[in-house]
Amino acid sequence: MEKQKSFSIKPRRLWLFSFTISLSLIFFMFFSIYVLNLPLSPRHQTHLHFNTTTTTTTTVSLGLRSPFNIQTLTALHRNYSATQFKNSILVSTHFSTLENESQISNISTFQAILEDGSVKTSTLFGNRSTKTEIVSSKDLEIVSVNSSVLTWKQQNVSITLSKKGEVSSDVLKVLNNKKECDIPNGKWVFDESYPLYTNASCPYIDEGFSCESNGRLDKNYMKWRWQPQDCDIPRFNATQMLELIRGKRLVFVGDSINRNQWESMLCLLMGAIKDPRKVYETRGRRITKEKGNYCFKFVDYQCTVEYYVTHFLVHEGKARIGSKRVQTLRIDTIDKGSSRWRGADILVFNTAHWWNHHKTKAGKNYYQERNQVHPRLDVSTAFGKALTTWASWIDRYVNPSKTQVFFRSSAPSHFSGGQWNTGGHCREASQPTPATYRGEYPEKNTIVEQIIGNMKTPVTFLNITGLSDYRIDGHPSIYGRKPGTSSRVQDCSHWCLPGVPDTWNEILYMHLESKRRKSLTN
């Protein structure tokens, strides 16, 4: 029988094997530490993507490494953490490079102003890896980058922060996409940086609106800025506005209140013109209340800013009643000057002021449809019929892919103690009425909104009634004519320039700029 061999390990071999294993472990540990501490290459960048459910993406390049795809900042998972910013505005953001050897990229200090006015600050951490991490939510969207212009849709925006290491950005704003800015809800704020022009700098203010030239000594009426409750109206940028209308026609159509706004627009735009000789009225007309049609050309921008008078938007004519020919308002026929409006790129309409005189209010033998003159017709009914005629003209002749249409709401009058022809006045007012004041919302505005809502052509309603109603101090009053003119009539309907119509144009500018930004994303 063969002798069985025994299995044994000699002590020398055991020591050699243990030493080899230990040395390998020590080498692997030091090699791992060395690899983890390698510096990041400056050639790589981190791209922070803000996505909504659409395919549009907003990108912020931060000079870091690896991508972060973030749809919004709630419903966080994995190794991301952030405070839920519902109904908030992101006002300050700081970004920094890797802070430790665990390969964590730190994006810190998200500071948000919440609806109740409080401020919240949170830190967002993202794991640097080759695999894309996603943070999703449906409550937030990018509002604007590097601009005070407020928009409410997803935009394509890309900014690159070139500094290495810690970078700070105060231009990123986030707003709940379910809550639009309520422009009419706010207050007037005294602002020493206003007005944006003066009577001396603008040659286009006619006598009726040139309150300072007519002897008004107080200047505070020029220095009020409208501040909505939950957003900011961007300060009017004359250069940018001229770029927006480069090669286009900006046309104001309406009564003398629209002429008020049109003159304001001319004055605002002149702030960007170096050579006034390159701005002129195409027919050499000087602005007065007697002539109703004007076309100013801005040569360097190949654009025109025009005004066409029409008190009612429909045709003022005459009809025979018995043996007499009487003045009528043809509420089924557009104004005869409508051919001048066609082809404009931006149309700003208004009507309301003249629907308050004795003929329209009484409605006796005044409103005409076809060959019929109504013996009596309610002014609200007639106003609705006239606006329907206007809406039909817009839907028929305006190409919405070329032309933006605006309809400005009625501007309030502030007569006390009577009307314009019965001793009404507003001379004593030197400040806006208190913020607690709430005037009645005009029925005419409601009618306009209803008709606009039924049109196939998009029309933007510029609701300036409420914010203007606070400004009893903004009317010419006795300063609507040269000193020494004998007249007991005060103007508490029109507005001094500079003044309230400048705010109307800032709101118009905001809408045009918002439209431009939206078009860039499409």
pLDDT at position 494 is: 97
Contact between 300 and 278 under an 8 Å Cβ cutoff? The reply is yes
**Between residues 278 and 81, the one the model is more confident about:** 278
Q: pLDDT tier at 425 (50, 70, 90 boundaries)?
A: confident
Q: pLDDT tier at 272 (50, 70, 90 boundaries)?
A: very high
Task: Specify the range with the lowest mean pLDDT, choosing from 186-200, 378-392, 406-420, 498-512.
Answer: 406-420
Kindly state whether residue 145 falls inside one of the protein's structural domains.
Answer: no
For residues 252 and 265, give the distance between their C-alpha atoms in angstroms, rounded to a whole number: 10
Q: Among the options 144, 256, 264, 338, which is catalytic?
A: 256
Contact between 146 and 159 under an 8 Å Cβ cutoff? The reply is yes
pLDDT at position 157 is: 33
pLDDT above 70 covers a percentage of the chain that reads 68
Mean pLDDT of 50-74: 39
Kindly state whether residue 163 falls inside one of the protein's structural domains.
Answer: no
pLDDT at position 300 is: 97
- Locate tokens 């640097």: which residue? 128
- Report the candidate in 507, 497, 513 with the shortest Cα–Cα distance to residue 241: 513
Inform me whether the pLDDT recorded for 65 exceeds 50.
no
Inform me whether the pLDDT recorded for 178 exceeds 60.
no
pLDDT at position 117 is: 41
| Residue range(s) defining the domain that contains residue 315 | 187-521
pLDDT at position 486 is: 62
Contact between 338 and 392 under an 8 Å Cβ cutoff? The reply is no
Inform me whether the pLDDT recorded for 388 exceeds 70.
yes
For residues 518 and 156, give the distance between their C-alpha atoms in angstroms, rounded to a whole number: 9
Q: pLDDT tier at 304 (50, 70, 90 boundaries)?
A: very high
Kindly state whether residue 365 falls inside one of the protein's structural domains.
Answer: yes
Tokens representing residue 484 in the block: 């020494």
Mean pLDDT of 403-430: 87
Q: Among the options 315, 353, 414, 494, which is catalytic?
A: 494
- The count of domains in the chain is 1
Q: pLDDT tier at 420 (50, 70, 90 boundaries)?
A: low
Residue 494 appears among annotated catalytic residues: yes
Q: pLDDT tier at 180 (50, 70, 90 boundaries)?
A: confident
- 418-427 LR contacts (CB < 8 Å, sep 24+): 420/489, 420/490, 420/491, 420/492, 420/493, 421/489, 423/488, 424/490, 424/492, 425/477, 425/490, 425/492, 426/472, 426/475, 426/477, 426/490, 426/492, 427/477, 427/478, 427/490
- Report the candidate in 175, 171, 152 with the shortest Cα–Cα distance to residue 85: 175
For 450-486, what is each residue's pLDDT tens digit? Answer: 999 999 999 999 999 999 999 999 999 999 988 877 6
Inform me whether the pLDDT recorded for 73 exceeds 50.
no
Q: pLDDT tier at 59 (50, 70, 90 boundaries)?
A: very low
Kindly state whether residue 65 falls inside one of the protein's structural domains.
Answer: no
For 92-103, what is each residue's pLDDT tens digit? Answer: 333 333 333 333
Residue 491 appears among annotated catalytic residues: yes
Q: pLDDT tier at 66 (50, 70, 90 boundaries)?
A: very low
Q: pLDDT tier at 41 (50, 70, 90 boundaries)?
A: very low
For 185-204, what is each residue's pLDDT tens digit? Answer: 999 999 999 999 999 999 99
Inform me whether the pLDDT recorded for 364 exceeds 50.
yes
Average pLDDT, the chain: 76
Q: pLDDT tier at 238 (50, 70, 90 boundaries)?
A: very high
Kindly state whether residue 431 falls inside one of the protein's structural domains.
Answer: yes
Kindly state whether residue 75 falls inside one of the protein's structural domains.
Answer: no
Mean pLDDT of 342-353: 96
**Between residues 3 and 271, the one the model is more confident about:** 271
Inform me whether the pLDDT recorded for 279 exceeds 60.
yes
For 116-164, what is each residue's pLDDT tens digit? Answer: 444 444 333 343 333 333 333 333 333 333 333 333 333 333 333 333 3
For 205-227, what is each residue's pLDDT tens digit? Answer: 999 999 999 999 999 999 999 99
Kindly state whether residue 62 falls inside one of the protein's structural domains.
Answer: no
Q: pLDDT tier at 406 (50, 70, 90 boundaries)?
A: very high
Q: Which strand (E) or helix (H) includes residue 349?
A: strand 346-349
Q: pLDDT tier at 23 (50, 70, 90 boundaries)?
A: confident
Inform me whether the pLDDT recorded for 86 exceeds 80.
no
Kindly state whether residue 387 falls inside one of the protein's structural domains.
Answer: yes
Q: Among the options 469, 491, 502, 514, which is catalytic?
A: 491
For residues 22 and 9, give the distance between their C-alpha atoms in angstroms, rounded to a whole number: 19
